[in-house]
Structure 1
Amino acid sequence: MRTLVIGDIHGGLRALHQIMERAKVTTKDKLIFLGDYVDGWSQSPQVIDYLIEMKITHDIICIRGNHDELLREWLKDSKDNEQWYQHGGEATVLAYQTVDGETKKRHIEFLETLENYFLDEHNRLFIHAGFTNMNGVNYEYFPKLFYWDRTLWETALALDQNIKTDHLFYPKRFTLYKEIYIGHTPVSRIGETIPIQKANIWNIDTSAAFNGPLTIMDVDTKEFWQSEPLPTLYTNEKGRNKI
């Protein structure tokens, strides 16, 4: 059995189909989705439908992303957010114009069942964004940071690679877990399009919302498979690109 982790999808169902085929995913695999299923490309409702169906047939964990929470607030509470519109929400609102009420209700139920994080039997943490409490996720004062934090990744990027884990200055957060898998902050910000490891943190967000591919990775072997870059799969759309 493989444990496979999937980065931020952002409405790119075609890319999701591609990585499932390229990784030859079967019902024997455990799949951990890191969140941000929506906002960007035009198939956000279909991505959620796909995951709901997959929960029946496969062993999957679905983590909550910030975009998923923004969608839940809009669907359930009619909470509009102008900043959300500018960061992929507009495409999602347009896509839901053709979705019936019963399906929306099912999607709200799915969004409410998302996990803030998953800690496996090997002490590997899977979380959308990060956490700030020095004692770990179980002690986090602000649960929203599980899907909004960027300090975990920023700290990993800034860390001196020569510093030892037992050094006084080594970030305590990094020592709590064997590995930490995140999405949320695209690796394209540091000029990359593949999963990037800094310290014991793996960033699997390979910028599918923008110009990059979607990624699925085997957490044991670190082998990974990618879709085509999303703009080539949605040639008449912008995704979350501004131009």
Structure 2
Amino acid sequence: MHRTLVIGDIHGGLRGLHQILERAQVTTEDKLIFLGDYVDGWSESPQVLDFLIELNNRQDCVFIRGNHDELLLDWLAGDTKNIDETMWYHHGGEATVLAYEKVTAETKRHHVNFLKTLQNYHLDGQNRLFIHAGFTNLNGIAYEYFPKLFYWDRTLWETALALDPMLSKNSPSYPRRLKLYHEIYIGHTPVTRIDQTIPVKKACIWNVDTGAAFKGPLTIMDVDSKEFWQSEPLNDLYFNEKGRN
């Protein structure tokens, strides 16, 4: 049976990725939509990219760009003028830099080519938007003035969190951004910040980042049935590492 499955932020946790694909019994008939942030955190960022490149050869995959993926691309390409290395290292970049010490120049070139192909967002035929972080333009993604906000914005999720669930969509106070798409699937801001470790729905937004970069599990979810499967907490799978903790 063909399914559309969405995957939250991986952050170098290849062991978690293997677990969720196995637990969801993913087949080559399934479409996989990855929400970005494949790297930075746990020690297997290069291996995650290798796996995703190979996975793309055997089934339908959509790869969304995350902010950490953009940082890695800039670093691999030698364009570090926009990278605050102290901040990047503190938020998982150090593990990635150390991991790439063992990676060949040829593999790095493959990874650069892959990272350049990442999409800012994916909008399907059912008006479901898949995006790493969000957008700010009230008219939607096609009108966004600052494309980097697709993978850096947090205001969309914060708006949904703060929204009174009793407020009618017909109210003039209802946020226009939350009326444009049937559903929006995001990562970027882990739901562990609101003491959750499962996908959270607020307004039309599903947040599938369940904190795999820290002490939470990695999640894969069927966007039609809303059934989801999770890995073990990543700090248990990488018990001798700190991740982004």
Deviation by residue 1:99-143 (Cα, 9 ceiling, x = unmatched): 000000000000000000000000000000000000000000000
Q: Which residue in 2 is equivalent to 1:24?
A: 25
Distance 1:166 1:115 in 2: 33
CA distance in 1, matches of 2:46, 2:63: 15
Q: 1:92 aligns with which of 86, 93, 96?
A: 96
- Aligned pair 1:162/2:166, yes or no? yes
Equivalent in the alignment of 1:120: 124
Structure 2 CA distance for aligned equivalents of residues 94 and 26 of structure 1: 33
C-alpha displacement of 1:147: 0.1
Aligned counterpart, 1:52: 53
CA deviation string 1:118-177 (max 9, x = no partner): 000000000000000000000000000000000000000000000011110001001110
2:41 corresponds to 1:40: yes
Q: What is the alpha-carbon distance in structure 2 between the residues aligned to residue 106 and residue 137 of structure 1?
A: 29
Distance (whole Å) between structure 2 residues aligned to residue 129 and residue 175 of structure 1? 17
Q: Distance in 2 between matches of 1:159 and 1:225?
A: 28
Which amino acid letter does the alignment assign opposite residue 197 of structure 1? Answer: K
What is the rounded CA distance, in whole Å, between the counterparts of 1:44 and 1:58 in structure 2? 21
Distance, in Å, in 2 between the alignment partners of 1:174 and 1:32 is 21
Distance 1:103 1:39 in 2: 17
Distance 2:176 2:26 in 1: 35
Q: Distance in 1 between matches of 2:239 and 2:89?
A: 21
TM superposition score normalised by structure 2: 0.98
CA distance in 1 between counterparts of 2:59 and 2:242 reads 32
3-state SS of 1:118 partner? strand
TM-superposed CA distance for 1:41, in Å, is 0.2
Q: 138, 143, 163: which one pairs with 2:142?
A: 138
Give secondary structure in 1 for the equivalent of 2:57: helix
Alignment of 1:1-243 (within 5 A): 1-79=2-80, 81-241=85-245
* Whole-Å separation in 2 of the counterparts to 1:165 and 1:73: 41
* SS of equivalent residue, structure 1 residue 144: helix
Measure how far apart 1:78 and its partner are. Answer: 4.7
Counterpart of 1:222 in 2: which secondary structure? coil
CA distance in 1, matches of 2:115, 2:170: 39
What is the CA-CA distance between 1:77 and the residue it aligns to?
1.9
CA distance in 2, matches of 1:77, 1:153: 32
Task: Tell me which stretches of 4 or more aligned residues in structure 1 moved more than 4 Å.
Answer: none
SS at match of 1:148: coil
Q: 1:174-220 deviations in whole A, cap 9, x for unaligned?
A: 11100000000000000000000000000000000000000000000
Unaligned stretches of 5+ residues in structure 1: none
Q: CA RMSD in A?
A: 0.6
Moved more, 75-84 or 126-135: 75-84
Give the alignment's TM-score, normalised by structure 1. 0.98
Give SS of 1:11's match.
Answer: coil
Give the aligned length.
241
Q: Give the share of equivalent positions with the same residue, in percent.
A: 71
Q: For the residues of structure 2 that align with 1:78 and 1:181, how far apart are their CA atoms?
A: 30
Q: Which amino acid in the other structure matches residue 147 of structure 2?
A: P
